Copies of this chain bind each other. A is one copy, B any other.
């Protein structure tokens, strides 16, 4: 009775994770849960986690359910029981680790933004292309594509509910830097984080704009600002977003806020704003898309809802409808709870794990790929270039010819 039916148990996929702070905790929950909720072709096994501090990484392994702990990410990559390397470090380590893992024959999931520079991202995309020929997959962790409401929004756009797109407006506002005494964590230092609100928050909304529209940004005009230019030096080690300051102060070397306008390939106008200085906005990724036939709107603080306006309806009964994206017909929802029993933030990581495991098993290209991550990186670079040149409209180099859009449709 207690013997499992071995024929029904899928083969395993050993996961090795590098980094275990905020993102590490979220990814762990994704790996632990995906196979319990979805029918997966491979069962993820939390093989090992790597971090520099022996005590801390061991505690993290114990807490999050990883079987082993490593203090050197190279050893983690080398483990036989690790087939997929999940990179949750700050951005300055992404390229080195991802390329090493790919070259070692491992599948890779890399947190966003893909890298701190276009050059790094290009090298990573090249490594991913090489690895792909060996059957390896490489995905970048733009997890918000896995919010069911946003996956559903993409379907609606692709199905023509909006017609030709005219406007996209996306803001991503948080408020954890409003306090001028919040200390100088790695996220506020260019050499670790690459940029500030731009890479942290702006990368998400750039990716979502391109994902939802199914087409790339072709140019941007931007302004950046750092409102608080010095902050207290960090007292001790910081993990995640919670930190406290020490006595001295040091320079903030990244942006506090980025505002930019852009054009999509089709001519649609897009506006973007990313800031960590908006009091009361905790995780306010809000977006609206207007097309010739209708409009869509979304707010991450109410992530189970999608607003849809169908402009073809009679005026007397038309209006933005609040779709509670919790029906079995909605993306990812076939596996969860009855209608109206909403999901949360962390479910995006469960869905990401589901999609990645599925791609690994099927040998298909995962979405978003490293090439997609590179494309976002190019937009971020164009934003910084425009901001440095008095906001002049700055073209974004076209993405590689890989049929990104088609692949985007394939998976969800």
A residues near B (Cβ < 8 Å) are 1-2, 4-5, 8-9, 22, 26, 28-29, 32-33, 36-37, 48, 54, 58-59, 61-65, 67-71, 152, 156, 166-167, 169, 171, 173-176, 178, 180, 221-223, 225, 227, 240-242, 257, 259-261, 263, 267, 269, 271, 273, 275, 277-284, 288, 290-295, 300-304, 308-309, 311, 314-324, 326-330, 337-347, 390-393
| A36 contact set on B, CB distance < 8 A | 28-29, 32, 63-65
| A320 contact set on B, CB distance < 8 A | 280, 321-322
Q: How far is the CA of A338 from the CA of B279 in the complex (A)?
A: 15
- A338-B241, A392-B390 known; A273-B169 Cβ under 8 A: yes
Q: How far is the CA of A15 from the CA of B226 in the complex (A)?
A: 51
Q: How far is the CB of A311 from chain B (nearest CB, A)?
A: 4
Q: How far is the CA of A293 from the CA of B209 in the complex (A)?
A: 31
Q: How far is the CB of A149 from chain B (nearest CB, A)?
A: 11
- CB of A269 within 8 A of CB of B223, answer yes
- CB of B319 within 8 A of CB of A323, answer yes
| A271 contact set on B, CB distance < 8 A | 259, 271, 273
Q: How far is the CA of A69 from the CA of B180 in the complex (A)?
A: 56
- CB of B278 within 8 A of CB of A176, answer no
- CB of B29 within 8 A of CB of A33, answer yes
- CB of A391 within 8 A of CB of B329, answer no
> Which 5 pairs between the two chains have the least Cβ-Cβ distance?
A283-B340, A282-B340, A280-B309, A344-B344, A321-B321
Instruction: Show 30 A/B contacts (Cβ-Cβ < 8 Å), sorted by A.
Output: A1-B58, A2-B48, A2-B67, A2-B69, A8-B62, A29-B37, A33-B33, A166-B227, A166-B257, A167-B273, A167-B277, A176-B339, A178-B292, A180-B292, A221-B223, A240-B338, A259-B271, A261-B391, A277-B292, A282-B326, A284-B340, A303-B342, A308-B319, A316-B327, A316-B329, A318-B321, A343-B345, A390-B393, A391-B392, A391-B393
A263 to B, closest residue via Cβ:
B223
Q: How far is the CA of A273 from the CA of B64 in the complex (A)?
A: 42
Q: How far is the CB of A113 from chain B (nearest CB, A)?
A: 18
- CB of A279 within 8 A of CB of B301, answer no
A54 to B, closest residue via Cβ:
B1
Q: How far is the CA of A367 from the CA of B32 in the complex (A)?
A: 29
Contact of A315 among B22, B29, B327 (CB under 8 A): B327
Q: How far is the CA of A191 from the CA of B347 in the complex (A)?
A: 37
| A278 contact set on B, CB distance < 8 A | 166-167, 288, 290, 295
- CB of A322 within 8 A of CB of B319, answer yes
Q: How far is the CA of A62 from the CA of B354 in the complex (A)?
A: 17
Q: How far is the CB of A357 from chain B (nearest CB, A)?
A: 15
- CB of B280 within 8 A of CB of A338, answer no
Q: How far is the CB of A147 from chain B (nearest CB, A)?
A: 11
Contact of A283 among B300, B341, B393 (CB under 8 A): B341
| A304 contact set on B, CB distance < 8 A | 301, 344
Q: How far is the CB of A28 from chain B (nearest CB, A)?
A: 7
- CB of B241 within 8 A of CB of A5, answer no
| A32 contact set on B, CB distance < 8 A | 32-33, 36
| A327 contact set on B, CB distance < 8 A | 315-316
- A167-B278, A281-B295 known; A324-B345 Cβ under 8 A: no
Given A261-B261, A343-B345, output 18 extra A-B contacts at Cβ < 8 Å. Answer: A1-B70, A2-B69, A32-B33, A166-B275, A174-B340, A278-B288, A279-B294, A279-B311, A280-B309, A283-B341, A301-B304, A302-B302, A314-B329, A315-B339, A320-B321, A343-B344, A390-B392, A391-B391
- CB of B22 within 8 A of CB of A338, answer yes
Contact of A317 among B280, B311, B323 (CB under 8 A): B323
Q: How far is the CA of A59 from the CA of B320 in the complex (A)?
A: 38
Q: How far is the CB of A286 from chain B (nearest CB, A)?
A: 10
- A176-B339, A314-B329 known; A261-B221 Cβ under 8 A: yes
